[in-house]
């Protein structure tokens, strides 16, 4: 790549033409990944790395022959699919330009190995956990689960120079002290209790700083830094502790609940990361640049009904969605998360309800945690997010 502005790059400019169109939903069944891998076996080597608890295959795809090796894995948590879609976009766009000089330049410099769904059982069931109801991101030391063993074996054999730990975060996160959602958050995980800034941790910070600059053009104010409390049971902390620069990606909420807007932002970040890996331009970034990214906070609800008359009182009612798999799509089921004064909180949708006639459900008593069947505001039905 000649230009460090990825927005001038062929791989960015052709996004709308060549992103991976077969998958738009938040839900990605493992068979969809298998067919994607079949399609992309023309540009990379697909390998069977092992099996899940329920015996599903766990595949990787490896592109390039370069000496600098990058290992990424997505959907360690089965209900976190946005980064998987961004990686599929990357594969699709590389495929569309597989004979270009750009592609050749990148992949003689780096080797990229990606596991698109590390937890295929959790992906099928749309759950965070694997089929033994274990959180794989707390199993990095024990390696008690087959999926953890697969990842560790791939890591050991591939000996990456850089690891990408790809996740989604909930809709509750904002960028600290702002009313902006944390659409993308990053972390260079700690590798010890003192949160020392070691050489490898610094490299991850430098990459993040470069991606932050790039994303600032696309989703200004919507980029956060994840909490760096040390937990050796987390995969990122463990790999960082083993001396490999490791970056946590968290795809969050921008505007659309299908998160295809965030997906594009993650794609931009990945493109910038690849550019940095090829040119080594990340070395110009500083730890201070990384630290200057504002931290995540948890100040968002999905909906807030402001100043709602409840019996003799006026309260704010916060509504959250539960994401549930229903007929191959993700359904967003609203429930009451909080009834309180919520002046310090924001919502993706806010309604001023003072003086209005508000009816929530029909006969049920209002309380936190109850499911919402419907909300009538002056007799008109409040609309909720459609399934995706
Ligand atoms: Zn996660």
Domain finish residue from 264, 298, 332: 298
- The CATH number given to whatever domain includes residue 335 is 2.30.40
- Dihedral of alpha carbons 249, 250, 256, 260, sign: positive
Separation of 80 CA from ligand 1 center, angstroms?
A: 6
Indicate whether 288 belongs to any domain.
Answer: yes
Indicate whether 388 belongs to any domain.
Answer: no
The pLDDT, as a whole number, for residue 312 is 84
Based on the fold, state whether residues 111 and 155 are members of the same structural domain. yes
Query: How many CB atoms neighbour CB 228 within 10 A?
Result: 15
pLDDT digits (tens, 9 = 90+) for 128-146: 999 999 999 999 999 999 9
Separation of 250 CA from ligand 1 center, angstroms?
A: 7
CA distances from 331 to 122, 204, 224, 257, 386 (A): 17, 36, 27, 10, 7
Separation of 75 CA from ligand 1 center, angstroms?
A: 7
Domain finish residue from 257, 281, 298: 298
Query: How many CB atoms neighbour CB 217 within 10 A?
Result: 11
Based on the fold, state whether residues 95 and 199 are members of the same structural domain. yes
Number of domains in the chain: 2
Domain finish residue from 298, 317, 335: 298
Separation of 266 CA from ligand 1 center, angstroms?
A: 15
- The CATH number given to whatever domain includes residue 128 is 3.40.630.10
Domain residues for 212? 6-298
Separation of 249 CA from ligand 1 center, angstroms?
A: 9
Q: Are 164 and 73 in contact (CB under 8 A)?
A: yes
CA angle 119, 121, 127 (to 5 degrees): 85
CA angle 103, 106, 109 (to 5 degrees): 145
Separation of 77 CA from ligand 1 center, angstroms?
A: 5
Separation of 278 CA from ligand 1 center, angstroms?
A: 28
pLDDT digits (tens, 9 = 90+) for 307-327: 998 888 999 999 999 999 999
pLDDT digits (tens, 9 = 90+) for 165-190: 999 999 999 999 999 999 999 999 99
Query: How many CB atoms neighbour CB 381 within 10 A?
Result: 9
CA nearest 296: which of 363, 329, 248? 248
CA angle 257, 185, 71 (to 5 degrees): 105
Residue 64: phi and psi, rounded to 5, are 90, 170
The pLDDT, as a whole number, for residue 364 is 67
Indicate whether 327 belongs to any domain.
Answer: yes
């Amino acid at each position: 790549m000649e230009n460090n502005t990825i927005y001038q790059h062929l791989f960015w400019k052709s996004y709308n033409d060549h992103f991976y169109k077969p998958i738009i939903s938040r839900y990605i069944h493992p068979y969809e990944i298998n067919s994607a891998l079949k399609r992309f076996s023309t540009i990379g080597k697909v390998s069977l790395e092992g099996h899940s608890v329920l015996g599903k295959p766990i595949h990787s795809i490896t592109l390039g022959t370069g000496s600098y090796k990058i290992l990424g894995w997505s959907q360690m948590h089965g209900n976190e699919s946005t980064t998987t879609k961004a990686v599929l976009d990357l594969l699709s766009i590389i495929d569309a330009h597989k004979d270009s000089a750009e592609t050749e330049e990148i992949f003689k410099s780096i080797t990229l190995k990606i596991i698109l769904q590390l937890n295929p059982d959790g992906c099928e069931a749309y759950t965070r956990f694997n089929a033994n109801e274990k959180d794989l991101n707390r199993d990095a030391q024990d390696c008690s689960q087959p999926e953890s063993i697969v990842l560790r074996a791939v890591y050991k054999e591939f000996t990456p120079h850089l690891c990408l730990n790809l996740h989604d975060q909930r809709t509750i996160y904002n960028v600290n002290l702002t009313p902006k959602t944390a659409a993308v958050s990053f972390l260079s995980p700690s590798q010890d209790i003192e949160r020392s800034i070691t050489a490898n941790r610094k490299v991850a910070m430098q990459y993040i700083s470069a991606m932050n600059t790039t994303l600032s053009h696309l989703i200004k104010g919507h980029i956060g830094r994840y909490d760096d409390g040390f937990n050796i049971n987390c995969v990122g902390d463990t790999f960082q502790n083993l001396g490999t620069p490791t970056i946590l990606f968290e795809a969050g909420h921008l505007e659309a609940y299908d998160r295809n807007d965030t997906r594009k932002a993650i794609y931009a970040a990945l493109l910038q990361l690849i550019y940095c890996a090829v040119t080594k331009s990340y070395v110009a970034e500083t730890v201070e640049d990384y630290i200057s990214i504002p931290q995540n906070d948890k100040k968002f609800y999905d909906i807030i009904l402001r100043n709602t008359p409840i019996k003799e009182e006026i309260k704010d009612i916060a509504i959250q969605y539960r994401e549930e798999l229903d007929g191959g799509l993700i359904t967003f089921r609203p429930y009451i998360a909080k009834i309180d004064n919520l002046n310090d909180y924001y919502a993706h949708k806010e309604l001023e309800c003072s003086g209005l006639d508000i009816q929530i459900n029909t006969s049920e008593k209002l309380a936190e945690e109850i499911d919402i069947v419907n909300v009538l505001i002056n007799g008109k039905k409040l609309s909720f997010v459609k399934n995706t």
